[in-house]
Each structure stands twice: as structure tokens, then as C-alpha cells.
A and B are shown apart, each in its own frame.
Chain A
Amino acid sequence: MYQYNDDDQTLIDERVTQYRGQTERYLKGEIGEDEFRALRLMNGLYIQTHAPMLRVAGPYGLLSSKQLRMLAHVSRKYDKSYAHITTRQNIQFNWPDLKNVPDILADLASVQMHAIQTSGNCLRNTTTDHLAGVCTDEIEDPRAYCEIIRQWTILHPEFAYLPRKFKIAVSGSEQDRAATQLHDIGLHLIKNDAGETGFRVLVGGGLGRTPVIGKVIRPFLEKKHLLSYLEAIVRVYNLNGRRDNKYKARIKILVKESGIDKMAEWVEAEWQQIKDGMEVSDERYAETKAHFTPPTYEENAHQDSSFDANKNQSAAFATWIKYNTADHKTPGYRAAFVSLKAPDSPPGDITDKQLDAIADLADQFSFGEARTTHRQNMVLADIKQADLFDLWQKLDALSLATPNIGTATDMICCPGLDFCALANAGSIGIAKEINEALDNIDYLHDIGDLKINMSGCMNGCAHQSVGHIGILGVDKKGVEWYQLTLGGSSENEAALGERLGPALAKDQVTQAVSTILDVYIKQRLDEEVFLDTVKRIGVNPFKEAIY
């Protein structure tokens, strides 16, 4: 993974010093509330319902074992001994003290981590496929481009006060696991007819109050023009995006109001002026790429016979392999998911002990690296098949081996009313109820591939509009209600879920989800997955069963 050079380190150290000064001036009353708000947000610090919340960047989801241990340390020393993985592959602490944040950032900087631009109306953390570099359907490893984008975004002097936040995602594989169609800019590595790799560029996608699927602004962009094209889009947005209404300020509204053709014309005109001066040189790319060379895999790893023997002997291990591991491009290796969706724990939460233990497992089995996923789990990407049984037992002892990746209890869930100042309704409690209702693992596996996403307000942090089942908490006269949608997807066939009917009371939600699953089981054909059944029969049969 990327290792900082002296300049990278100096930059984040100077950022800590800058923020320490800003915090001191704020505490002395020399910086006003509104002004400090903007400054602290660009250092990842929110003020939540109970306490501040600090969001630390997980650059495109990659973490070293050393960094994991530091996160564990921070959670112990400054927080309540746990952290939370977000849909932007970031790491959140829910209980830090505002005056301690400069010290936390200094601790993080000592392991090449920061919280720069994890919030605020600026260029945010770039996300990518959690299986980058190891998946079998990869066109090109996107991580070197992610790092080049990371450097371009960090402290970009022109784009720190955009109309609204700005998110970029990159996918390098055929199957889009990075939800690129739902980002302000989505970049998809593709091959053109001449066999060259480049980017398909999408613009104006996004979730939140007005979910929109991104539109193609450029079908094929030569890779060397990556940064100039991004700069052209963001400059057009900075100068033309709406600033009169915060709910209409995202680039998706500019694209909608101007039309994609007009937007493309503006971007093209801007890009023509800057493209020749901003090329990503072959040297720069090679230098960055060198940080992402594959580890030294064992050549004979696939000759191990214990893996099959263990699967035959232990049905539980075989089930875990089926649901919680993914194929690897190197024979004899698999990528293993660390499920942060145990039934008794809020989705995406992880304790200090688990973080330390994952660091040890990463060192022991996976070249010292781990990844966070946008579905709020983690991945150990390079596990030799002979080690999987041992790894599984160790993860199981840590409550990190619930075999539910990609199933109904692998929910994306925001912190909801329990923590978030914006939320209208609770989400963690409902997630727990659904988990309890689906506690029969055979039933869960029979239902199969199902993505339930639940947000406690229409800001949509948990991507409910692209959940196969989406659950949105709303407030009606001080009472929590829940709006259900069906048929959303954030993958290749991206779609926004269709509303099922009027919002449901809190005590009806879990029953409604069970009813939806009953209808699916009754109506499905052969091996048909949930999403395909919804597409085939529409929402009416589900609606009729619930209302």
C-alpha cells in the first residue's frame, strides 16, 4: 500500500499544527461558531447529539496493521473503546472530546493517517472496490489512480468551499462494487476497441434527498488526462453550482437543471484549456503504481489439500467460505470478509480488541494489510487457502465470522437517532429487531443475496434508495415512521428503489420485512435472487401482502 514520503508526512504534520492552533483560538473565543464549524468539519469533526464525532479517512479503504492498532489505541484513549466503519470506507469515533482532537490527529499522523476533508463542502475521501488488486474480474487495479486522486484532492486550494460536498469513486472491475453510478463523479476503468484502458466518466449521481443515477459525461478518457478532467468538472461546478439552497447545491442538480449535454459542453470547453498542462506523467504513475505491486504469493498455495478436507469435515467452515470469502486472482488464495454484522452488535461497529486482533491476523495471514468496505465490513484480501480454517476459527472467537456477507443481515445502517444530530428516527434498534427475526441461519441462506439498507433520515447516509429493500426513517409530528422501498441497486444495473406504500409505524417494520421475504419465497423461480424477482413481478404483490 501507499507509504508516505517526507513531503506527505510534513503536510499532515503541518495540518495537525494548523488545526491545533484553530482549536485553541476557538476555545479562546477568537474564532466564531460558524467559522470554526467549517474548519472543524474539514478536519472530520462533527458535533452530534451526545458528543462530537470524529471521522478519520480510510484512503480508498486500505489500512495497515500498524494503523489498525493506532485506531484501537485512539478508541481506548480518547473514546469508548470502539469505532464505526462508514459507507465511505472511513472510520468514525463517536465520543471524542473537542479539545482532545488535535492530540488524536497527531497520534493518527504518526501512522500516516488523517481526517482531512472527511466532511465539509469539499472534495471527500475517494472510495473504491474493496477487492481491488485481487478480484478475478479486474480490468486494471484502480488503487494507484485512487492515490493520485487522493493527493490531488487533499488541500486543493481552489475547491475547499464548493457549493456542497463532492464524492468520487473508482471501479476497476467488470462488476461495480464501488457504487460509481451514485457518486458526484464515478470513474470506471474500461477497455476501448483498441484494447487501451481508460476511464468511463459519470457525473451527477448521488443519494441523499434526491437520489439520482449518474450520467456518462465522457465514454472514454485517456488515463493521463484524469486530473485535468476532474479539475474541469469541479471548476465548472464551483462556478455554476447552486448556492442559494443547500438541498439543491449538489452537482446532480446542476446536471439536472442544465442537462447532461450542456454540462458536457462546459466541461469540454474548460478541459481543452487545461488538459495539456496537467497530464499524469508515466513516471508519476509508475512511481505510484510501485506502491501497489502484488505481495509475494506462494506458488504452490493451491496444492494444499487441507482446505477441501476441512470444508468436508466442518459444515460451518464450508458455509463461512461460501458466504464470507471471495475468489482471488492468484490460485490457492481467497479474500476473506470480516463480518461487522454480528447479531448483537450495531452494524459496522468494531471494538478496540477486535481492531487489535484484526491487526494481528493481518500480520499473520494477509501481508499486514486490511480493507474497509462500503457495506461496513472489513476484508483480509490475501489469505492462503491452507490458512483459512485457522483464520475462520480465530475470527469466530472474536464474533467476526457471522456467515452473512451479502445476505439480509449484512445491513448497511446509519447511526440513526441514537447518535446523529440530523436523524429523524432510530435505525440501530430496527436493525437489531430484523436480525433477531432472521436469526435462523438456514433461512437467511435460503433467502440468499439481499441488500437491506436503512437510514434514519432522508440524508440517506446508509444508501437506502439503492437497497434491494430500503428503509427510511421519517419524523411525523414527533413519532418515528418508516418508508419502505423495493428494487434498488448500486451495482452495474443501478436502480432507485420504488416506494412500497405509506410509511409504517416502528413496530410494523420488522413484520413488513418478513412479509416481503415470504412473498419472495413464494414467488421466486428456481434460483432467482430477490432483486430479480422484484424486477419480474413488480412491487404490487409485496404491497398487497403488507397493506
Chain B
Amino acid sequence: MKIIKDKQIIEDSWQHIADDEEIGNGDITVSLSRWSSEKNTLANHSGNIGVRIAPADNVADIADDLNKINLIAVELPAFTDGRAFSHARLLRSRYGYEGEIRAVGKYMADQAFYLQRVGVNAFELEDTEEYPAVISTLNDFTVKYQASTN
């Protein structure tokens, strides 16, 4: 499927593995709780590993593992749930994570600008027809008041 990464629409092969799903091959993301309980076996996985941060998760729980993680997906189960914004901000500013942070879930193209400001650099939406709008809103503002990640 396609995602947006660094303002470009690209092909993407990462698979999001549910907690009750078998882990196959290739690049995969797992939930933070699965990562926490299975990280020793996951270390032997052949592909890249990513971790999904649910709204109620505490990102401090993976602070020590960030060098083993190639992607962090911050989840927005609904566009009104703003916890992902703080998660991304903390991952970038406090814990110095430099890999891909991807916004996943149900959110609006019009939230992409703020998501980018807090450190999200990749966007995955079910409705890929939204992607041109996402890319366009990333340029909504040329000025800002607050220091943030971007």
C-alpha cells in the first residue's frame, strides 16, 4: 500500500501485526505491550521492527529500546484523540528518536500540519485519496509561535 513519507507518496511494505496474530516475515510493527513482553524473541526477527503506541501507552516505556526500533507508529483511533501529538513530541524532543514516526488510524488530512510540527514524518491513512490534501496541508503555515520539533 501507499503512504506519505517526508512529503512524498511512496510504496510501503510494513505490516501491522495484531496481538493475536502470528509474526511472519518482512517489516512488522507490534503493539507496545507485545514489544515489552516479546522483545527478546523479536530481536531475532529477520525484518525490521516497529512499535505502535496506543493513546494510553507511556512512551517512556520504550525510551531504552529506541535504537532497536526502526519505526514508531503513533495511533489516533479517532481524530479527536490528541494524545498521539504528545507521544510524538516526547519521542523526538525528550528521547531523541530519529527514525520514522508514522501517524496511523483515523485522522483528518487537516491535522497533518500539527502532526508534522510535533515530529511525525510519515502518514498512513486507509483512504489514500486523502494524500494530496495531506501533502498540501503540510504547507499551511510558514510562521509559528512555539518551539516544537519542526
Q: Do A and B interact?
A: yes
Q: State the CA gap A121–B78 with chains docked (Å).
A: 14
- Chain B residues with a Cβ under 8 A of chain A: 55, 79-83, 85-86, 89, 94, 108, 110-111, 113-115, 117-118, 133, 137, 140-148
Q: A35-B108, A39-B110, A157-B148 are in contact. Are A162 and B82 (CB under 8 A)?
A: yes
Question: Are A157 and B114 neighbours in the complex by a CB distance under 8 Å?
Answer: yes
Pick the residue among B80, B118, B142 that contacts A158 (CB under 8 A): B118
Q: Is the CB of A155 within 8 A of B110?
A: no
Q: A22-B110, A39-B110 are in contact. Are A160 and B82 (CB under 8 A)?
A: yes
A159 near B: Cβ within 8 Å? yes
A14-B142 in contact given A157-B118, A158-B148 (Cβ < 8 Å): yes
Contact check, A238 vs B143: say whether CB atoms are below 8 A apart. no
Does B110 lie within 8 Å of A159, measured CB to CB? no
**In the bound complex, do residue A158 and residue B81 qualify as a contact, i.e. CB atoms below 8 Å apart?**
no
Residue of B nearest to A246 (CB): B80
Contact B118 A155, beta carbon cutoff 8 Å: no
In the complex, chain B residues whose CB is within 8 Å of the CB of A243: 55, 80-81
State in angstroms the CA–CA spacing of A239 and B55 once bound together.
8
> Interface of A with B (CB < 8 Å)?
7, 10-11, 14-15, 17-18, 22, 25, 30-31, 35, 38-39, 121, 151-152, 154-163, 235, 238-239, 243, 273, 277-278
Instruction: List the B residue with the shortest CB-CB distance to A17.
Output: B140
Given A39-B108, A238-B83, 11 new contacts (CB under 8 A): A7-B143, A38-B79, A154-B145, A157-B148, A160-B85, A161-B79, A161-B82, A235-B86, A239-B83, A239-B86, A273-B94
In the assembled complex, the Cα of A38 lies from the Cα of B13 at a distance in Å of 33
Q: Are A158 and B140 in contact (CB under 8 A)?
A: no
Question: Are A14 and B85 closer than 8 Å at their CB atoms?
Answer: no
26 CB contacts below 8 A, A to B, read: A11-B144, A11-B145, A14-B141, A15-B141, A18-B137, A18-B140, A22-B110, A39-B110, A121-B80, A152-B145, A155-B144, A155-B146, A157-B114, A157-B117, A157-B146, A158-B85, A158-B117, A158-B148, A159-B85, A161-B79, A161-B111, A235-B86, A238-B82, A238-B85, A243-B55, A278-B147
**Residue in contact with B143 in the complex, picked from A14, A38, A121, A163, CB distance below 8 Å:** A14
The answer to whether B82 touches A159 (Cβ under 8 A) is: yes
* Inter-chain contact B145/A14, CB cutoff 8 Å: no
CA distance A155 to B114 in the complex (A): 8
In angstroms, Cα B82 to Cα A163, docked, is: 8
Expressed in whole angstroms, the Cα–Cα distance for A15 and B144 within the complex equals: 11
The verdict on A35 contacting B145 (CB below 8 Å), with A14-B140, A160-B85 known, is no
Min CB gap A39→B, angstroms:
6
Q: Which residue of B lies closest to A278 (CB)?
A: B147
CB distance from A51 to the nearest CB of B (A): 24
Shortest CB–CB separation between residue B16 and chain A, in angstroms? Answer: 22
Q: Chain A's nearest CB lies how many Å from the CB of B124?
A: 18
Which residues from B are CB-within-8-Å of A158? 82, 85-86, 89, 114, 117-118, 148
* Separation of A39 and B112 alpha carbons in the complex (Å): 13
CB-contact partner of A160 in B55, B114, B137, under 8 A: B114
A155, B145: Cβ atoms closer than 8 Å: yes
Q: Are A38's CB and B80's CB within 8 A?
A: yes
**CB pair B86 A161 closer than 8 Å:** no
**Known contacts being A159-B85, A161-B85, A278-B147, is A35 close to B142, with CB within 8 Å?**
no
Q: How far is the CB of B5 from chain A (nearest CB, A)?
A: 19
Query: Looking at the complex, which one of A14, A35, A152 makes contact with B79 (CB distance below 8 Å)?
Result: A35
- Inter-chain CA distance A375–B144, complex, in Å, is 33
Query: How far is B118's CA from A159's CA once the two chains are assembled, in angstroms?
Result: 10
List chain A residues, Cβ under 8 A from B108.
31, 35, 38-39
Write out the residue numbers on chain B whose beta carbons fall within 8 Å of the beta carbon of A18.
137, 140-141
Residue of B nearest to A39 (CB): B110
Closest chain A residue, CB of each to CB of B83: A239
- With a CB–CB cut-off of 8 A, which chain A residues contact B115? 157
CB distance from B88 to the nearest CB of A (A): 8
A6 to B, closest residue via Cβ: B143
Residue of A nearest to B108 (CB): A35
CA distance A171 to B80 in the complex (A): 32
* B144 surroundings in chain A (CB, below 8 A): 11, 155, 157
Chain A residues near B148: list those with CB within 8 A.
Answer: 157-158
B82 neighbours in A (Cβ, 8 Å):
121, 158-163, 238
The smallest beta-carbon distance between A228 and chain B, in angstroms, is 11
Which chain B positions have C-beta within 8 A of A159? 82, 85
Residues of A within 8 A of B142 (CB): 10, 14
Closest to B144 in A: A155
Residue numbers in B under 8 Å from A14 (CB-CB): 140-143
Bound Cα distance A154, B83 (Å): 18
User: How far apart sit A151 and B144, CA to CA, in the bound complex (Å)?
Assistant: 9
Chain B residues near A157: list those with CB within 8 A: 85, 113-115, 117-118, 144, 146, 148
CA distance A273 to B59 in the complex (A): 15
Q: How far is the CB of B145 from chain A (nearest CB, A)?
A: 4
| Closest CB in chain B relative to A497 CB, distance in Å | 33
Cα distance, A47 to B111, chains bound together (Å) = 22
- The answer to whether A238 and B114 have CB atoms under 8 Å apart is no
Taking each of B89, B118, B145, which has the highest tally of chain A beta carbons within 10 Å of its own beta carbon? B145
For the complex formed, measure the closest distance between the CB of A59 and the CB atoms of chain B, giving whole angstroms: 13
A482–B89 Cα distance when bound, in Å, is: 47
User: Which residues on B sit within 8 Å (CB–CB) of A162?
Assistant: 82
